[in-house]
Amino acid sequence: MCSGPRKLLLSYYGDQNILPGQRWEFQVSLRRPWGLANPGSHNMQSWYATGGIDAVGTAKVGHGRLRGEGAPWSSLHHRWRQQLTVKIAEAGLSDAAEAVVKALTVADKSGLNYEMWSLFQRYGINHLLVVSGLHIALVSGLAFMLGRLVASATAGLGLSACRWPWPECSAMAMATLYAALAGFSVATQRALLMLASFMLARLLRRQSNAPGSLMTAAFLLVLVNPLVMLSSGFWLSFSAVAALLWMGLWQKSGLKGRYLAPHLYMALVMFPVGALWFGGASWVSAPANFLMIPLVGLCVVPLSLLGAFFSLLGLDSAASTLWKLAGLPIDWLWPLAEKLAGDQALFVATPASTLSICLGLLAVGLIVLPFGRVLRVLCVVMLLPLFLARPQPSPEPQLNVLDVGQGTAVVFTVGERALLYDTGGGHPSGPNMSQSVVLPWLSHKGISALDTLMISHNDLDHSAGAADIMAALPIRQVWRGEKLHYQGRRCDAGVSWQWPGKTRFHILSPVGAQEGNNASCVLLIETPDHRYLLAGDIDVAQEQDLIRYWGKKLASDVLLVGHHGSRTSTSQAWLNQVSPRVAVIGAGYASRFGHPHQDVVSRLQGSNVMVYQTALEGAITVSTDPSGGLLVTGYRQGYKPWWM
């Protein structure tokens, strides 16, 4: 029994069907919440903190016991969400339509794969897939109008019920119900608080103050949960509303000012905001939102929610029909959107500096002021660093071992050239580490092409994201340790090539056709100052073969430890021959495989090798200091959040 943590995030891989509202007893292995730590990637630890997750773990299969049902009302909205998720899946929608309808009805984003998210991001409309203030406003607005009709009807009939504030109550009731179906996200909480403030002002016959309502909502959310400030949703939601309110102080009346201008202005605002949170923004977000906001707000969302209403009443046939109607616009537009999304000009990557982001935010704040053309030209100039400033690649060699959990992904760079050794784990069709870590890291560093992609062998913790990498980036050459389902030359011992600046690459293994871990491409990287040996997943027997074949040529300054520090690798004879000064181990935190094994760590330390682990250090960068020595830095070294 667990009496410590109050809120757990558990993974369960058994066959039992676990439903909301049930009470289960499990044997679990718990560990502290610990996320991957890489530049440019989503921070899972802040997500754990914001959600109040005290521990994560895995429930043991076969040890679960159903202990009954919880209080009926305590999990009612969770049961509704589960029921609607199942019914939408049974409605016979296309994959894209089903994913969108689920996301907009019950905030179930499980059907939105990486390709879908990327496509919506390229058009700058991914915010429409998250139930937010926009959706709450649309639903409450429709409910308010419906309430007015009811009030008018009852007044016309001379009923005493006409004194009831139907419009305000209808708006709040529908907005609260929708927010409950969406799981009460930060954006929906903000919208509900602002709506409540507005409706209360109406009932008290007082003038509503939108900026005051916004600040009150922010204060209350932070008061209840100070860690909500770690959420990107908090800042995006409040900054978007604040920007629109700021623009509203200066906008002109008329159709152009009321409808066109907000889309254009928010597209402009998203350049610095997108650079801060997403590393880029869409060039076409204004026209895309101009089309999609009314389409989603007046068609997809109302039909989806009306379908949910009929489904909860047991009218499944009517619900399915409404959901299919809601999905029609998605089905019509999806093929065209996919066709146009291949244009790289749609989305501009802006891995900008803090200074350029601050200048951009100042520019979008000033550009709406009525101070003439000179100020607007100055604001445009202030925005330029977002697009012109790019991370300057280091001319010195750098070995970057990314934190991909139980897997391997290494990027070696010299100036503009980059080699990627393995892609991390996951599933080839997603989600995988290429999508969540490798590609964001490359974008963050301003790397838009690869000289070389090397997939050491076929194990998924090394190769799962290969297809995503090849689809996203131009690559000059691809090497592989085993036969893959796509192009690439097979690694053969003895093959070498060179980059400008005397950086040489030598494939040391495999010799002949091999399979499994020992088919790993073992790569030696030689620079004027240092040598780096990437050992893949080879075992002790393969190490012995390499010692016999290459001998002293194995000597290296930096060793990527084989097989994540497994006890079946990194023998003492191997360490004696390689004689590294630095060893880097890529393994998951609290690995269920026991990686790295303590015997391996002890052997390394006993050989006077400095040991670094991605599980503890985050992404690890090995570079050359001004004196020609090795400089090793972990991403967590400079990452000391106040909330941990």
Distances (CA, A) of 107 to 101, 128, 135, 425: 9, 11, 11, 27
pLDDT at 537: 94
SS (H, E, C) 505-554: EEEEECCCCCCHHHHCCEEEEECCCCEEEECCCCCHHHHHHHHHHHHHHH
- Percent above pLDDT 70 for the chain: 92
How far apart CA 339 and CA 346 sit, in angstroms, is 12
pLDDT at 451: 96
pLDDT at 610: 96
299 exposed, middle or buried (CB, 10 Å; 0-12, 13-18, 19+)?
Answer: middle
pLDDT at 423: 96
Q: Are 172 and 195 in contact (CB under 8 A)?
A: yes
SS (H, E, C) 492-509: CCCCEEEECCCEEEEEEE
pLDDT at 17: 79
Q: Which residues lie below 8 Å from residue 442, measured CB to CB, with a gap of 6+? A: 411, 418, 448, 473
Contacts by 366-370, CB closer than 8 A, 24 or more apart: 367/268, 368/246, 368/247, 368/249, 368/250, 368/251, 368/265, 369/250, 370/250
pLDDT at 446: 84
Residue among 387, 343, 381 nearest 362 (CA):
381
How far apart CA 234 and CA 425 sit, in angstroms, is 30
Superfamily of domain 398-638: Ribonuclease Z/Hydroxyacylglutathione hydrolase-like (3.60.15.10)
pLDDT at 386: 81
pLDDT at 1: 47
Residue among 514, 554, 511, 512 nearest 535 (CA):
554
How far apart CA 170 and CA 163 sit, in angstroms, is 14
Query: Which region holds residue 536: left if phi is over 0, alpha if psi is between -120 and 50, else beta?
Result: left
Q: Are 34 and 589 in contact (CB under 8 A)?
A: yes
Judge if the upstream peptide bond of residue 596 is cis by omega within 30 degrees of 0. yes
Residue among 8, 29, 26 nearest 16 (CA):
26
pTM of the entire predicted model: 0.84
What number of helices (H) and strands (E) belong to the chain?
24, 22
Domain range annotation of the chain: 8-74, 398-638
pLDDT at 372: 77
Spacing of C-alpha 613 from chain mean position: 23
Query: Which region holds residue 565: left if phi is over 0, alpha if psi is between -120 and 50, else beta?
Result: left
Q: Which residues of the chain have pLDDT under 50?
A: 1
**DSSP bridge partners of 29:** 58
Helices (H), 159-208: 166-181, 186-203
pLDDT at 3: 55
For the stretch 618-633, what's the b/e string if a residue is b when 16 or more beta carbons lie within 10 angstroms of its beta carbon? bbbbbbbeeeeebebe
**DSSP bridge partners of 634:** 620
Q: Are 208 and 202 in contact (CB under 8 A)?
A: yes
Strand 475-480, strand 450-455: pairing: parallel
Residue among 183, 195, 37, 136 nearest 639 (CA):
37
Residue among 430, 102, 25 nearest 10 (CA):
25
pLDDT at 29: 81
